Amino acid sequence: MRYKVSIKKNEEGYTVSCPGLPGCWSQGDNEEEALENIKDAIESYLIVRDELIEEEELRYVELA
């Protein structure tokens, strides 16, 4: 699966977030480390999300 991420350089290194997953962000000393860290953050985010909704009734909708 592919996720779009936003990466920004700052005085402490790099911050990276995933706009499609609110609150999912990470950081790193360099760009490569930040991108590796966001992969872990996304995986953890999805695991927790799935645990939270496992008892809910879910449906799909299509957009034209």
* Domains (range + CATH), the chain: 6-53 (3.30.160.250)
pTM of this structure? 0.83
The pLDDT score that the predictor gives to residue 55 is: 87
Q: Is 9 helix (H, G, I), strand (E, B) or coil?
A: strand
How far apart, in whole angstroms, are the C-alpha atoms of residue 62 and residue 33? 37
The pLDDT score that the predictor gives to residue 33 is: 98
For residues 15 and 25, is the Cβ–Cβ distance under 8 A?
yes
For residues 56 and 44, is the Cβ–Cβ distance under 8 A?
no
Residues of the chain with pLDDT under 50: none
